[in-house]
A and B are shown apart, each in its own frame.
Chain A
Amino acid sequence: MENRLVIDKYSEQYYPPTPTNFTLFWRKFIPFQILRFIILTLKIIKIVVKGHS
């Protein structure tokens, strides 16, 4: 992560995990995201149905 270079060492921002380029790629890769869209929709429906029962 190029932005990572500007973070001050030992600051709060120094410690959290940062996504790798591989992770960032999958977050944008459309065929994979279509699949995630379907899965996420089903998960939300499950929550909604539970909330209405």
Chain B
Amino acid sequence: MAKVVVLGAGVAGHTAASYLQKYLSKQHQITVVSPTSTYQWIPSNIWVGVGRMTAEDIKFDLIPLYKKWGIEFLQAKAISFYPEGDNDTNSGYVEVEYTSPQKFGLKQKVPFDFLINATGPKLNFGATEGLIPGQGNIASVCTFGHATEAWKLFKEKLDKMKNGQKQTFVIGTGHPTATCQGAAFEYILNVDFEIKRRGLQDLAEVIWITNEYELGDFGMGGAFIKKGGFISNTKLFAESYFVERNIKWIKRAGVKKIDAHKIFYENLDGEYLEQNYDFAMLIPGFAGHGFKAFDKQNSDITDCLFAPNGLMKVDADYTPRPFEQWSVQDWPQTYQNPSYPNIFAPGIAFAPPHSISKPMTSKNGTPIFATAPRTGMPSGVMGKVTAENIIAWIKTGDPEIKHRASMGRMGAACIVSAGYGMSKGTAATMTVSPVVPDWDKFPEWGRDIKTTMGEPGLAGHWLKWLMHYMFLYKAKGKPFWWLIPE
């Protein structure tokens, strides 16, 4: 009997757990450890944040599903890793602390033969002074709870505008090296859409603030797309979207501090500037969870398992190199820890070898650039591949890893919502292939120009809406869920 422990029940962790239970016989034990007992479809947080959906529409309770699937579920958070066990046990284990009301604060050792660390990022709001969601005029759409509060705040601002008060909305990145620009981009477009839908645009100033060198970078170095007889960069695509909507932008900005009415930022020219606001939604920096790791003698081996940013080391090439020497070969394919091959880290939990966008530093030495994103689709694929490799290992006893999924090979589709509505909604359908540009294989554009595209229109909204229901159907394990790809 093999014990497989999955830390995290987000896209990567839940996908891995789904396939493990489907393809492993019941004699094997699967345990999922997650601080919350709900699964949330994060891409739809955007619609919760503008009142078009509620939190209930985008989440469901995992406990009945895991019970049906025969998965042990522990509502707890991981604290420390003991991959070799300790003096009392030879089996590797994770020390967890319960977060459920019944057992809150209790600690437990969870032994494993295989461990999937899919704990995602720590939303590092603390890295930006004053960036506290729910405090004053600051919102977030990073979780369904944050998004629900964001809608309440947004509604307050809409009411103020209805009473004739002008409001300034600033949306974007809240840390000099934040990622996830795509989510903020969607949110600003939806906020703008809802303002215009109510005819309040004359009372609103909507501003995008970003650490991107150019708009449309999205942490993936931008992309080239073929459209209208030209091959152009996503910079033009994003700028055109904003100009069409009269959204202003501040780029190359590293937000350092935010108070009740002002955002303080530094730009790449080394200037320290301020921006007034009445409503701010700024994506925080991401970090690892600060896990510790110990060997059998209780010596600290955190450096073996984790990179300095707290994310887990996997089969990436972490050799420091200048941007010009970066390659898709640097990116991991199996998400297997090099020191402990029975530990894997798919999704946002793995430490990328470097960013995708070129790192930039201000004249004062502050790094200001977009770090690497990992959206739902790659995270799902990584989760599935990790499960497939563990299943094969358990079934054959052969530790050879056969299934691979590098971000330098796989593509990703991202539907950028720009307004909700079955006849008046809109979204930009974006695909990139591969996610990490491969300049050796595609020397002209970095990616396959035939499958990299961006197209705005109503059809995009239908796609995003369809994906919402399709992926929740899959996550709920409804009949034939496995036929729906990640």
Residues of A within 8 A of B (CB): 1, 3-4, 6-7, 12-13, 15-19, 26-28, 30, 33-34, 36-37, 40-41, 43-44, 46-52
CB of B429 within 8 A of CB of A40, answer: yes
Return chain A residues, CB-CB under 8 Å to B249.
12-13
CB of B457 within 8 A of CB of A33, answer: yes
Instruction: Please measure, in the bound complex, the distance between the C-alpha atom of A43 and the C-alpha atom of B409, giving whole angstroms.
Output: 17
Instruction: Please measure, in the bound complex, the distance between the C-alpha atom of A47 and the C-alpha atom of B450, giving whole angstroms.
Output: 11
Return chain B residues, CB-CB under 8 Å to A28.
423-424, 426, 457-458
Return chain B residues, CB-CB under 8 Å to A47.
411-413, 431, 433, 451
Instruction: Please measure, in the bound complex, the distance between the C-alpha atom of A25 and the C-alpha atom of B243, giving whole angstroms.
Output: 17
Question: Is B245 located at the chain interface by the 8 A CB criterion?
Answer: yes
CB of B413 within 8 A of CB of A44, answer: yes
Closest 3 A/B residue pairs (Cβ): A16-B239, A51-B410, A47-B411
Return chain A residues, CB-CB under 8 Å to B248.
13
CB of A50 within 8 A of CB of B457, answer: no
CB of B411 within 8 A of CB of A50, answer: yes
Interface of A, secondary structure class, is helix
CB of A13 within 8 A of CB of B242, answer: yes
CB of B460 within 8 A of CB of A3, answer: no
Residues of B within 8 A of A (CB): 236, 239-240, 242-246, 248-249, 377-378, 381, 384, 405, 409-413, 423-424, 426, 429, 431, 433, 451, 453, 455-460, 462-463, 485-486
Return chain A residues, CB-CB under 8 Å to B412.
47, 51
Return chain A residues, CB-CB under 8 Å to B405.
51
Q: A12-B239, A13-B242, A36-B459 are in contact. List 11 more A-B contacts (CB 8 A).
A: A16-B236, A27-B458, A28-B457, A33-B462, A37-B463, A40-B459, A47-B413, A51-B377, A51-B381, A51-B411, A52-B486
The minimal Cβ–Cβ distance linking A41 to chain B, given in whole angstroms, is 7
CB of A6 within 8 A of CB of B458, answer: no
Give which listed residue, A12, A19, A46, contacts B451 with CB less than 8 A: A46
Return chain B residues, CB-CB under 8 Å to A16.
236, 239-240, 242-243
Contacts A13-B248, A17-B240, A46-B451; A30 near B411 (Cβ below 8 A): no
Q: Name the residue of chain B whose CB is nearest to the CB of A13.
A: B243
